[in-house]
Structure 1
Amino acid sequence: MKKGIIRALVICIFQKDDSILVAEGYDSVKGEYFYRPIGGGIEYGEKSTEALMREVREEIETEIFNLTYLGTVENIFTFNEEVGHEIVQVYDADFVDSTFYTEALFEGKESDGNTFKIMRLPISRFQNDELRLVPKGLLDLIKEQQNC
């Protein structure tokens, strides 16, 4: 996070039945785990759909299609005692490789080489407050889409 900068991000939930795909994160100051759909920063001159396809390629080395825009969430948060501010474009999409729907847990890779856990989790685990889904407002956006 860069202090004083509002970041433009794109994420994708990859919903299947009653589950979404999320990466596990950890705030070492708060001592709390959180879960966020995969994606990342939108670069200058890049459309959000292009950024999402690039980020998925970089993080889990696969291709996606059938991107569906779900909405935008503005997120002001604290992570490791630093305040962050994001404007997050949210999508759903399909994987070209169907094994990403059957694997319960796999590994993603950041551009710096660090790895992280990615898992498919039931939406109900976020709805009943068992697990925390970020960005704030994402769960409401998912519920909105389910009611359409």
Structure 2
Amino acid sequence: MMMNAPKTRADIRMKAMAVFRRGDKILVNEVREPDGTLIGFRIPGGHVEFGEKTADTIVREIREELGADISNLRVLATIENVFTYGGQPGHEVIVVYAADFADAQMYEQDTLAAAEDDGTAFTLVWQDPDDLPEGLPLYPTGLRDYL
């Protein structure tokens, strides 16, 4: 899943994301610049739609992307993330939840196939946040403080 930069500097995006744990590992996917350069890893989630509560957002996003139901949502943090992506400034406020998959079989798979709402495929993997490949960062910035 890619981070999308706002079209103007005035856009602030609201997101909901979730931490799923399997032992010492969390579920993440790659973050790549528009040119394909790997720049880090992020937890699953997405944009809050107008009129939608963040808890409903994360349930919807996981169902849309993974076809999975989740339970036991607990707010971990609210993180404000100011960043540059694709050469453009971005600003988002993220409510981060801890969550569990309703189906225990989700934890038995080392990789999980997912798709964006436009059909773009991506893969989520269980990764130790202290041992990310190539020393790349975990997004959103500041998330490590809540793991």
TM-score under structure 2 length normalisation: 0.89
Aligned runs of 1:1-148 on 2, under 5 Å?
Answer: 1-2=5-6, 3=8, 4-28=10-34, 31-126=37-132, 130-142=135-147
Identity of counterpart residues, as a percentage?
Answer: 35
Question: Is contact 2:47-2:57 (8 Å) kept?
Answer: yes
Secondary structure of the residue that 2:138 maps to in structure 1? coil
Question: Is contact 2:129-2:138 (8 Å) kept?
Answer: no
Partner of 1:145: none
Aligned length in residues: 141
Q: Flag structure 1 segments of 5+ consecutive residues without an equivalent.
A: 143-148
- Deviates further, 133-142 or 23-32: 23-32
Structure 1 residue 81: deviation in Å? 0.8
Structure 1 residue 29: deviation in Å? 5.1
Letter in 2 for 1:98: A
RMSD over aligned CA atoms reads 1.7
TM-score under structure 1 length normalisation: 0.88
Question: Is contact 1:75-1:136 (8 Å) kept?
Answer: yes
